[in-house]
């Protein structure tokens, strides 16, 4: 599949008075395929927004290469095919939702009022399109932002914290919209702190920490390595030594025994052995690895450049 975004050793450095040169983004190699929802994660100050700004041509890389939809970053032709929703966007508040779309549309040479209304319908704002944006709630402002980002029918959308600070209903509305973008064949590049949200909608993610990619890949692959907890009672002590499972933890509880083991192991053989020795299996609970676990593990791993 073709790459929607490709960076090779992309670096952005700033000179600090005392600390010398700081690499905010450090030799970044990123690969985002067309048609996927890609999550770009990282703690505050990790370099997420700087990377997006470089990809949009708003700031200039210190070194390295970057390609968006096959063209070098900064190419004005690409700007006709992409769109951007910044974190906590501010729009000219004297405008109404409809006027805002007219303004942004005019930057593309789009003057079709019907299209503006259709987009406002898509984000469920058509009833409020003649109200000034200053009267919009946070969720409505985010939705009008998404509407403006669809004006040019973009192939690639950059969404910076699209659900930041929104209530659960607005969260869900935005999430559904983002999923609809993928169904329409668009590529979505999301920078976010909302890990549960990302886990629900993203196909692949990259975790950036202090300017360096710490992990990148399919969510299904990155989240491998969950565990299974088997609780049982009346298990003879002699059986415990028979469990020859790598990386297993066995704890004795007042109610019995808790066996915690990697999900790669077959729990059936353990369950069969317990039953064969007249033990009773109380529960089998798979503990799936969550994105939050991966995130914390990744950003706190020693060796990741700091």
Which among 77-85, 176-184, 239-247, 250-258 is the span making contact with other proteins, rule CB under 8 A?
77-85
Stretch of residues binding other proteins (CB under 8 A), selected from 38-46, 52-60, 220-228, 240-248: 52-60
Quote the CA–CA distance of 9 and 103 in Å, as a whole number. Answer: 37
Half-sphere exposure of residue 66: CA atoms within 13 angstroms, side-chain side: 25
What is the per-residue burial (b if ≥16 Cβ within 10 Å, else e) of 160-173?
bbbbbebeeebbeb
**Nearest residue (CB) to other proteins, 91 versus 295:** 91
Q: Closer CB to other proteins, residue 35 or residue 57?
A: 57
Among 92-100, 196-204, 226-234, 246-254, the segment contacting other proteins (CB under 8 A): 92-100
CB of 94 to other proteins, least distance (A): 5
Q: Which of 29, 45, 63, 108 binds other proteins (CB under 8 A)?
A: 108
The first and second tokens of residue 248, run together, are 């297993």
> Which residues are CB-neighbours of 172 under 8 A, at least 6 positions away?
none
If one asks whether residue 163 binds other proteins (CB under 8 A), the answer comes out as no
Residue 226 touching other proteins (CB under 8 A): no
Q: Binder to other proteins among 27, 31, 80, 193 (CB under 8 A)?
A: 80
Binding-site size for other proteins (CB under 8 A) equals 33
Question: Which residue lies nearer to other proteins by CB, 165 or 236?
Answer: 165
Q: Cβ–Cβ contacts within 10 Å for residue 286, how many?
A: 10
> Is there a contact between 230 and 286 (Cβ–Cβ < 8 Å)?
no
Residue 79 binds other proteins, judged by CB under 8 A: yes
Which of 40, 104, 181, 295: binder of other proteins (CB under 8 A)?
Answer: 104
Q: Is the Cβ–Cβ distance between 230 and 264 less than 8 Å? A: no
83 is an interface residue for other proteins by CB under 8 A: yes
| Residue-level length of the chain | 306
Q: Which residues contact 26 (CB under 8 A, 6 or more apart)?
A: 11, 47, 210, 211, 212, 305
- Which of 82, 188, 215, 261 lies at the binding interface for other proteins (CB under 8 A)? 82
- Cβ atoms of residues 91 and 110 within 8 Å: no
The tokens for 260 are 């915690």
In the complex, what is the shortest distance from the CB of residue 90 to other proteins, in angstroms, rounded to a whole number? 4
Residue 23 engages other proteins in binding (rule: CB under 8 A): no
Q: Within 10 A of 62 (CB to CB), how many other CB atoms are there?
A: 15
Among 29, 71, 72, 107, binds other proteins (CB under 8 A): 107
Region near other proteins per CB under 8 A, out of 75-83, 220-228, 237-245, 282-290? 75-83
Q: For residue 284, what are its two tokens?
A: 């089998």
Sole binder of other proteins in the list 48, 53, 143, 155 (CB under 8 A): 53
Of the candidates 240, 269, 244, 245, the residue with the CA atom closest to the CA atom of residue 256: 240
What span, in angstroms and rounded, lies between the C-alpha atoms of 131 and 128? 5
Binding mask 128-157 for other proteins (x = CB under 8 A): -----------------x--x---x-----
Nearest Cα neighbor of 32 from 298, 291, 216 is 216
Q: Angle formed by the axes of helices 168-183 and 138-149, to 10°? A: 10
60 touches other proteins (CB under 8 A): yes
User: In the complex, which residues of this chain contact other proteins (CB under 8 A)?
Assistant: 53, 56-60, 76-77, 79-80, 82-92, 94-95, 103-104, 106-109, 145, 148, 152, 158
């Amino acid at each position: 599949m073709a790459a929607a975004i490709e960076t090779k050793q992309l670096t952005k450095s700033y000179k600090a008075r005392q600390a010398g040169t700081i690499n905010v983004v450090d030799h970044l190699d990123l690969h985002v395929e067309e048609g996927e929802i890609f999550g770009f994660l990282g703690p505050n100050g990790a370099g997420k927004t700087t990377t997006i700004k470089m990809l949009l041509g708003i700031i200039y890389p210190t070194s390295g290469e970057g390609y968006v939809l096959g063209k070098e970053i900064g190419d004005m032709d690409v700007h006709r095919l992409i769109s951007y929703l910044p974190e906590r966007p501010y729009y000219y508040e004297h405008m109404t939702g409809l006027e805002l779309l007219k303004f942004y549309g005019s930057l593309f040479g789009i003057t079709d009022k019907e299209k503006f209304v259709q987009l406002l319908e898509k984000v469920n704002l058509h009833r409020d399109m003649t109200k000034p944006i200053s009267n919009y709630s946070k969720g409505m402002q985010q939705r009008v932002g998404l509407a403006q980002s669809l004006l040019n029918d973009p192939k690639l959308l950059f969404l910076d914290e699209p659900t930041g600070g929104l209530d659960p209903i607005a969260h869900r509305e935005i999430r559904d919209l983002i999923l609809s973008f993928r169904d329409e064949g668009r590529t979505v590049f999301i920078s976010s702190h909302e890990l549960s949200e990302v886990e629900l909608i993203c196909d692949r993610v990259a975790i950036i920490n202090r300017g360096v990619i710490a992990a990148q890949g399919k969510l299904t692959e990155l989240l491998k390595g969950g565990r299974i907890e088997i609780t049982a009672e009346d298990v003879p002590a002699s059986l415990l030594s028979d469990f020859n499972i790598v990386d297993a933890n066995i704890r004795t509880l007042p109610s019995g025994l808790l066996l915690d083991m990697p999900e790669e192991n077959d729990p059936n053989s353990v369950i069969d052995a317990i039953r064969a020795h007249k033990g009773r299996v109380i529960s089998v609970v798979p503990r799936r690895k969550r994105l939050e676990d991966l995130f914390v593990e990744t950003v706190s791993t020693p060796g990741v450049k700091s």
